[in-house]
């Protein structure tokens, strides 16, 4: 979009225009130039006021009608490349309601080779300085549509594309009727294209903002669902009688259930993020140092299969030893090992339960 300034090649003052069309000061009367400059300034001011671009576009529509057009509309392309009516304005509110209902019954035919479909397809403006009856006859699909077009009493039409960063977003239509003596010319078209550039940028910014808001809402929903799943998981794991912990590829604890904490004598803050081998598995039953490279738990990362040990020991916070058995399974995401989950069973309790079971069986077999 070109702003008021000096043309680099000709040295002439540029009043308004788009990248493809410019209007120089010498081509305009002082009054007309001032009116266009003031209008664009007012439009830019409205566009910068609010992040709600629907309200902003309605305000601009009311600036356009009836001063610059008797019918004014903005259509944007949706994700299916279909035109959606964003703004429609006429000085008579009843006619706006009528036109919207008509649009719902008769959507824009995107296969048309001229008019609104062609503008959004090519990105090139169309100017019809004089609407003749022959034009209405050639464009009408049937007699009913021809009667409707004649009833509208159109006199002049401009359709300009909405383009932001080389992407066609939609188009703006300006229409005059016999209620006005106005017929659009090339200067009006340059003005319309300048306005369209400003509106297109506002629409794109609003769409980017809405996309960001949608992503944020989706992220919050996902976070809420993830939190709920984690709470359900924690409730399930905390209800088991065995100690359970998850560790990453480095053996650092990501989660440990309440039984595991009680078994070790630690709090969650003292365990989560710490290396489980260094914290609880640093020595063998005979008291000799247990190197990480010899630890069976680490083989779960390497081979990706279950590791079961029925006679080992872990060390509590108070440096006392607990005889345990444990099972370790690799955690895989998309086939890639990202950690391990370990179930630890206190052999004292396991043996006590086994003894009670044997006593029960002996008593009931007599």
Could you tell me the residue ranges of all domains in the chain? 5-212, 226-365
Q: Which residues face 14 on adjacent strands? A: 5, 24
Residue 78 three-state SS: coil
Distance CA 363, CA 218 (A): 61
Q: Is 75 exposed, middle or buried (0-12, 13-18, 19+ CB in 10 A)?
A: buried
When mean pLDDT is compared across 47-61, 100-114, 194-208, the lowest value belongs to 47-61
Q: What is the pLDDT of residue 21?
A: 55
Q: Which of 168, 159, 155 is nearest to 76 (CA)?
A: 168
Weakest mean pLDDT among 68-72, 237-241, 279-283, 315-319: 237-241
Nearest to 61 by CA among 206, 167, 151, 174: 174
Residue 278 pLDDT level (bands cut at 50, 70, 90): very high
Local structure of residue 25 (DSSP, 8 states): G
pLDDT band at 244 (very low <50, low <70, confident <90, very high): very high
Report the pLDDT value the prediction gives residue 4, as an integer from 0 to 100: 45
What mean pLDDT comes out for the span 120-140?
89
Grade residue 16 by pLDDT with cuts at 50, 70 and 90: low
* Whole-number percent of the chain with pLDDT over 90: 26
The full 3-state SS of 316-339, as one line of letters, equals CCCCCEEEEEEEEEEEEECCEEEE
Q: Rounded mean pLDDT of 45-67?
A: 81
3-class SS of residue 152: helix
**The two domains 5-212 and 226-365 share their CATH topology (first three levels equal):** yes
Tell me what pLDDT residue 350 has: 52
Residue 159 has what pLDDT?
A: 96
Nearest to 325 by CA among 339, 340, 341, 307: 307
Domain 5-212: give its CATH architecture.
2-Layer Sandwich (3.30)
pLDDT of the residue at 116: 92
- CATH number, domain 226-365: 3.30.450.20
Structure-block tokens of residue 359: 């006593």
pLDDT of residue 1: 39
For the segment 240-268, the average pLDDT, to the nearest whole number, is 91
């Amino acid at each position: 979009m070109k702003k008021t300034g000096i043309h680099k090649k000709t040295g002439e003052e540029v009043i308004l225009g788009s990248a493809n069309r410019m209007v120089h000061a010498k081509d305009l009367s002082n009054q007309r130039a001032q009116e266009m400059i003031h209008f664009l300034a007012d439009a830019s001011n409205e566009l910068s006021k609010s992040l709600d671009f629907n309200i902003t576009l309605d305000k601009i529509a009311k600036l356009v009608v009836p001063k610059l057009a008797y019918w004014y509309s903005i259509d944007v392309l949706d994700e299916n490349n279909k035109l959606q009516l964003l703004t429609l304005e006429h000085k008579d509110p009843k006619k706006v309601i009528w036109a919207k209902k008509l649009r719902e019954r008769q959507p824009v035919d995107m296969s048309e080779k001229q008019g609104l479909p062609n503008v959004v397809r090519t990105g090139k403006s169309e100017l019809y300085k004089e609407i003749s009856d022959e034009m209405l006859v050639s464009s009408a699909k049937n007699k009913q549509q021809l009667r409707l077009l004649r009833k509208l009493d159109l006199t002049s039409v401009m359709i300009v594309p909405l383009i932001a960063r080389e992407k066609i977003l939609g188009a703006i239509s300006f229409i005059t009727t016999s209620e006005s003596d106005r017929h659009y010319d090339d200067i009006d078209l340059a003005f319309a294209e300048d306005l369209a550039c400003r509106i297109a940028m506002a629409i794109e910014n609003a769409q980017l903002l809405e996309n960001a808001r949608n992503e944020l809402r989706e992220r919050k929903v996902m976070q809420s669902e993830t939190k709920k799943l984690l709470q359900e998981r924690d409730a399930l794991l905390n209800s088991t009688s065995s100690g359970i912990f998850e560790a990453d590829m480095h053996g650092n604890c990501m989660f440990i259930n309440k039984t595991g904490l009680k078994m070790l004598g630690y709090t969650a803050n003292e365990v989560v993020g710490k290396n489980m081998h260094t914290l609880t598995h640093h020595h063998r039953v005979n008291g000799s140092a247990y190197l990480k490279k010899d630890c069976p738990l680490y083989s779960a990362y390497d081979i990706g299969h279950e590791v079961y040990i029925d006679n080992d020991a872990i060390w509590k916070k108070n440096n006392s030893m607990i005889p345990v058995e444990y099972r370790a399974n690799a955690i895989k995401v998309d086939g890639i090992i990202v950690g391990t989950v370990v179930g630890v069973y206190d052999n004292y309790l396991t043996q006590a339960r086994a003894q009670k079971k044997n006593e029960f069986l002996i008593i009931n077999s007599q």
